[in-house]
Amino acid sequence: MSKYSTELKPCPFCGNGDYVRELKHWSDREQVFFYSVGCSECGGQSGGCETSVKAIAAWNRRAK
């Protein structure tokens, strides 16, 4: 079992429960990707992480 929860907590900024999960490409020369979780209401984000599980964990750490 993973030490990271895959259940998303409400937005730490506005309390919204509607999210956007993203995979972004971040390099012109290399295939470098990062994942983030963002609030569809206020635009708050978890920041870029190397896996979606880590992005969810980062989001949940900020939640109230």
Whole-number pLDDT of residue 2: 47
Which amino acid appears at position 30 of this protein? E
The domain segmentation of the chain, as residue ranges, is 1-64
Which amino acid appears at position 7 of this protein? E
% of residues, the chain, pLDDT over 90 = 0
Write down the pTM of the prediction: 0.70
Whole-number pLDDT of residue 4: 52
Residue 53 clears pLDDT 80, i.e. is over it: yes
How big is the chain by its Cα radius of gyration, in Å?
12
pLDDT in tens, 24-51: 656 667 777 788 888 888 888 888 888 8
